[in-house]
Amino acid sequence: MALRDQLKLSVGSAYRVGEQRGKTKLDVRFQNGTRQLKTLDIAWVPANSRKIQESVEKVAGLVTGGRNVKEAYEALFGASIPVPEASESASALLVQVWELFGAYKIRKNLIKESTWSKDYATSGKRLKEVSDAKDAFDLLDRAGDKWEAGSRQRQVSLQHISAMLKWGISREGNFVLPKERWTPPIELKGFYGDKVEAKQDAVPLQDEEIISFLESLPVESKHPRDKEAAKRWKFAFQLMAAFGLRPIEIKHLQVDNGELWCNYIKRSGAGQTKRRRLRCLNEWATEWDLINRVADDEALPLCKVGVADAARTYLKRQKSWESLAKAGKTAYSFRHGFALRAHQQYGLSVRIAAALMGHSTDTHTRSYGTWTDEDEIDKALENWDEGKLNQNLFGNAGQGVALPADVQLRLQNNALLPEDEGALRKANLTFHAEQCAQARDRIQSVAMEKQARLSEERAKAAQAEYKAFQDIPLGAKPPSPEAIQQFREQIGYTGKPSWEN
């Protein structure tokens, strides 16, 4: 088509035109390598060649003057839909686009105004609650979290919000939403979740089960994709287990002054959660170097659907998960294991454990209050002599020596140190003293393992140096004493004056 040749002569090769859905698509390439696209409201037919050329030349003139392609086009030909100001936040932008989306559907007679006011109201309300989402996937993941998995309301609202996003990135919506950020997934099934007929009890993973499963992941697989996926999911499961995270929360972590925080806000009919500081109850955070890995932005799994659903899919593919799944374990069992650890190993109160996990005491009791069974009762009675049952934040009144003020404060804040063991034993707080002793042993064990690893690395380095020396050609090595003596004999050198020979 001669049109392209004409444009090369008039505006240069940076401006290209083509066809898109019967319209003229303008593709502008800039010197820094970026591109800007715009669909012109001109039919892509030979009869419009002159009109297309003139329009592109006008746009090029304004772009040269400092405007971007979209601004230039709207300045010349206007916009059918008001475009939000660039300074608006993403949250305000989504809310405004929702209103524009409704007005468009009503104006085009796609729905009645009463239908928008009634059937779309719940979806619009939920959109406003999660409008601070970072992208389309995060928006849909959080939007559906309000309703039961697989429920009809969850499906309908996600369909409404997805339709709004599709409209916002399209020509009909005047491209008011950035396509690279707000393009929704083609398939929403993963966000709907599987409908559960009856709520199942939370089944926790024991510590040894967590360790065994993590070690079974194919992080050394010969297949690059399997190896990369295993590394990413292992990191994700380590975070869930160590800090008691919901699956979605792995995407909302931040390190501030060496401390790990979760920025995820869960909203429900009972209220909303708050940003919280994360704490690991055992040595896993240190052993796995989790905080530094988060600070370094180590790669997490790429989830095309919700994180929980993606985790469920990955777990189903692991042979080592089959027996755990039969026992009722799910992706949330890493989080449930944290709750089990908090109560059974560390004796934390419901209030403290709930605060660490980011939910209310009522939710905590309802979810984890069914764990006490005959084995737990027997175990508790066996520990009676150690005073484990009647030891609490206030100590054993009237027994043993009073705790020093600093140790008492650390006990109340659940921040005991290994060196507090002696004071706790004198106060007859044997259970807490044993915790300090175990913590000291773990620290020493980790230090010894680290020292052994460093020694092994040094030994390997020394061996490598020796081998490198051995590989040097003979002529480059210093001669041995025997070789020196043999050479001296060959030349008749004795080391004595000539008159003594």
Tell which wins on pLDDT, 32 or 142: 142
- Residue 270: pLDDT band (50, 70, 90) is low
Average pLDDT of the residues in 227-245? 94
| pLDDT exceeds cutoff 70 at 202 | no
Pairing, β 253-256 against β 35-43: unpaired
Domain 209-301+320-371 bears CATH identifier 3.30.70 = no
pLDDT at 40: 83
Residue 39 and residue 23 in contact, taking contact as beta carbons nearer than 8 Å:
yes
pLDDT at 127: 93
pLDDT at 76: 72
Residues of the chain with pLDDT > 70, as a percent, come to 84
Looking at residue 424, its amino acid is: L
Residue 407 and residue 420 in contact, taking contact as beta carbons nearer than 8 Å:
yes
Residue 295 and residue 171 in contact, taking contact as beta carbons nearer than 8 Å:
no
The model's pLDDT over 309-363, given as tens digits with 9 standing for 90+, comes to 899 999 999 999 999 999 889 999 999 999 888 887 777 778 888 888 888 877 7
pLDDT at 486: 80
Angle between helices 2-10 and 49-64 (to 10 degrees): 30
Q: How far apart are the first and last CA of the chain?
A: 105
| pLDDT exceeds cutoff 50 at 461 | yes
Q: Which range is least confidently modeled, 215-224, 313-322, 442-451, 491-500? A: 491-500
Summary mean pLDDT of the chain:
81
CA distance 228 to 402: 54
Q: Which range is least confidently modeled, 266-280, 368-382, 431-445? A: 368-382
Long-range contacts of 229-237 (CB under 8 A, 24+ apart): 229/301, 229/314, 231/299, 232/299, 232/300, 232/301, 232/302, 233/301, 233/311, 233/314, 235/293, 235/298, 235/299, 235/300, 236/300, 236/301, 236/307, 236/311, 237/210, 237/213, 237/311, 237/334
- The torsion angles phi and psi of 41, rounded to 5 degrees, stand at -85, 55
The model's pLDDT over 72-93, given as tens digits with 9 standing for 90+, comes to 777 776 654 444 443 345 678 8
Looking at residue 94, its amino acid is: L
| pLDDT exceeds cutoff 50 at 114 | yes
| pLDDT exceeds cutoff 50 at 373 | no
Three-state DSSP class for residue 343: helix
In the block, residue with structure tokens 């709004």: 164
- The torsion angles phi and psi of 255, rounded to 5 degrees, stand at -105, 120
Segments making up each domain of the chain, as ranges:
2-77, 90-192, 209-301+320-371
pLDDT at 53: 86
pLDDT at 84: 43
pLDDT at 371: 57
The model's pLDDT over 3-48, given as tens digits with 9 standing for 90+, comes to 787 777 777 888 888 887 778 888 888 777 788 888 888 877 777 7
